[in-house]
Amino acid sequence: MHLPRPEYPRPQFVRNEWLNLNGTWTIEFDPGKSGEARKLHESHGFAQKITVPFCPESKLSGVAHKDFIERMYYHRVITVPKAWSGKRVLLHFGAVDYDCKVFVDGKFAGRHVGSSDSFEFDITALAKPCKRQHLVVEVADELRSFVQTGGKQSQRYESYGCAYTRTTGIWQTVWLEATACRAIDYVQIRPDLDGSQFVFLPEYHSAAATDKLAVTVYDSSGKKVMGQATGAAANGVPVVVQLKKAIAWEPGNPYLYQLRYELRDAQGALLDEVRSYAGLRKVSIVGDQFLLNNKPIFQRLVLDQGFYPDGVWTAPSDDALKRDIELSMAAGFNGARLHQKVFEPRFHYWADKLGYLTWAESPSWGLACCDPNQFSPEQVWHSAANFTAEWTSLVRRDFNSPSIIAWTPFNETGANEDTIHLLRLIQGRIYDLTKALDPTRPCNETSGYVHCKTDLWTVHAYCKNATELHDTLIPEAGKAMQAYASEFTTQTLQSNQPVMMRPLETGYTGQPYIPDEIGGFKYLPPKQKAFNQQSWGYYGMNLQDAKEWLRLMAEQIRLLESLPQVAGFCYTQLTDVEQEQNGVYCYDRTPKAPAKELAKVFGHGKLTR
């Protein structure tokens, strides 16, 4: 039987003993929310089949359910291999949207809350090697509660505007893993380009006081040793490996060192072994310059929302993840702003391999704390607490990916004079949290709209031509990007204009200035059908000619290249998504113009000013 998404799901922390649980499961929807009373968690199977890891709203799941799913149950039989007897057994979920409880043979194994972060449960006490056991996952997904992350998932029955098909339940790979009882849990990798070394900060499931951690760094082939070191196996105690030859990771030369972690006891016996990789690169900001490896870089980003016609939030294959990056690079982009979705570790793996820069973002839309003017204080603080836990997990999970060069917790936040203090408090705290979790990368605390505390000054400037874009970005000669001195109004503070980016009372304070949403021109090739009657692009335009479409995009990019204040851009967007048809590619990934013509527009291969 075909196994969907069979590849190892966690490329930066690889063990040999694992079992993919994707494939055919059974499900039951629970619209009356009576599943607990009906003891569905003790089920031995349901009537309806589903293909995991695809969400029940998707075609690839075999279900294609289009209405809201506020409760549902999954079931499948698992059998832990005999060879895993005496070992720790971990049950991993790439992501489940949103609140899930897990049961093994009717016994509670764990609960997780979050739409997009990965998690695991230690089911050693419940696992019975060689025996058929019943795994049940209960899911609650109340998108319209405004206390959970949803991103671009539609809060209406139908898709509309820039809201699309929902994702409920399991949407990334589910898998079992065996480890030793004393084993490595996590290793944070801090690259030190200037010092030609890596600093490894390990954590352990369990380790004895006399255990040691040995770290070996190999060249990109995995054959030649480039450095090694051994340290005490204690949580947070670093192991530093000096490199014989320092080779920087960067676009055009995405050099990846191969790694091996070995946990050994006092006699030298191997307890646990994990394989990984790392890129030696440095991200820094000096004044209004964004530096990569101590050199200014002009970022040519594209907005990527990561939706697929047949899989929704889940790519149909590993090759599809890689192909999206290749399509973007062929069109001249050197990276992407990963928008309102958390991309899976396999995507980051391909970005690392291909030398593709990314800004990682949360699916923050749908949270009351993003626009506290519209919600009760209880909703605001409940949503902020949920967001904080999920965001912490996400930054930790993806920390080691060299291709990620910025974090963006929120998108287009808003407030009014009565609630701006709440927004300032929440965004400021999330900025501080992000920098505490990762001081090595800049934090763009919200993309566009109301900045409170940020390393990057990002604005959204959708304009129908280059003249209008210039006047929007540079509103007054000699006063570029300075905030107007005006009082707060009762209107929601959600202006796209750079001059209105409050509540930073003094306005722009010298950060790298990046219009991270521009463009959005709608163009459909003559043979391409519109997704539906509500299909749209920005400005109300419906361009019929590819040359005019290319010209309009090119004149805006040439303008941005010419402005000394601008450190990069992000064009909307890589592909059409359902009714939003302003992509460089169609929703099915077919090009709207030859890649060489797109590359002329977006500056293929040019990285610095």
Residues 203 and 288 in one domain: no
> Stretch 106-129: mean pLDDT, rounded?
98
C-alpha dist (Å) from residue 468 to 4, 436, 552 = 47, 39, 12
In a domain, 388, yes or no: yes
Q: Assess whether pLDDT exceeds 90 at residue 130.
A: yes
Q: What is the pLDDT of residue 607?
A: 54
Q: What is the pLDDT of residue 557?
A: 96
Residues 227 and 135 in one domain: no
In a domain, 608, yes or no: no
Residues 451 and 547 in one domain: yes
> Stretch 474-491: mean pLDDT, rounded?
41
Residues 363 and 480 in one domain: yes
Q: What is the pLDDT of residue 479?
A: 43
Residues 288 and 248 in one domain: no
What digits encode the pLDDT tens for the residues 348-385?
A: 999 999 999 999 999 999 999 999 988 999 999 999 99
Which residue segment(s) compose the domain that 104 sits in? 18-179
| Rounded Cα distance, 147 and 550, in Å | 41
Q: What is the pLDDT of residue 416?
A: 84
The enclosing domain of 73 has a CATH number of 2.60.120.260
Q: What is the pLDDT of residue 471?
A: 87
Beta bridge partners of 72: 29, 139
CA angle at 39 for the pair 33 and 43, rounded to the nearest 5°: 110
Residues 452 and 313 in one domain: yes
Indicate the pLDDT class of residue 1, thresholds 50, 70 and 90. low
In a domain, 322, yes or no: yes
What digits encode the pLDDT tens for the residues 140-174?
A: 999 999 999 999 999 999 999 999 999 999 999 99
Residues 104 and 156 in one domain: yes
In a domain, 9, yes or no: no
Q: What is the pLDDT of residue 9?
A: 98
Residues 152 and 291 in one domain: no
Place of tokens 């982009």: 333
In a domain, 227, yes or no: yes
Structural domain total, the chain: 3
The enclosing domain of 225 has a CATH number of 2.60.40.10
In a domain, 7, yes or no: no
Indicate the pLDDT class of residue 544, thresholds 50, 70 and 90. confident
| Alpha carbon 521 to its chain's center | 25
Q: What is the pLDDT of residue 565?
A: 87
Residues 81 and 229 in one domain: no
In a domain, 140, yes or no: yes
End-of-domain residue from the set 133, 164, 179: 179
Q: Assess whether pLDDT exceeds 60 at residue 243.
A: yes
In a domain, 10, yes or no: no
End-of-domain residue from the set 245, 263, 282: 282
Least confident of 213-217, 263-267, 499-503: 499-503
End-of-domain residue from the set 282, 316, 331: 282
Residues 243 and 175 in one domain: no
Residues 288 and 254 in one domain: no
Indicate the pLDDT class of residue 532, thresholds 50, 70 and 90. confident
Cis peptide before 53 (omega within 30 of 0): yes
What digits encode the pLDDT tens for the residues 431-461?
A: 999 999 999 999 999 998 888 899 999 999 9
Q: What is the pLDDT of residue 499?
A: 41
Indicate the pLDDT class of residue 528, thresholds 50, 70 and 90. confident
Percent of all residues in the chain with a pLDDT value above 70, rounded to a whole number: 93
Residues 123 and 240 in one domain: no
> Stretch 550-579: mean pLDDT, rounded?
95
Q: What is the pLDDT of residue 491?
A: 38
Query: What is the per-residue DSSP string for 18-70?
Result: EEE--EEEEEEE-TTS-TTTTTGGG-S--SEEEEETS-TTSTTTT----S--S
Q: Please provide the average confidence, as pLDDT, over all residues in the chain.
A: 92
What digits encode the pLDDT tens for the residues 13-63?
A: 999 999 999 999 999 999 999 999 999 999 999 999 999 999 999 999 999
The enclosing domain of 384 has a CATH number of 3.20.20.80
Task: Give the pTM.
Answer: 0.95
Helix 318-330 vs helix 345-354: crossing angle, to nearest 10: 40
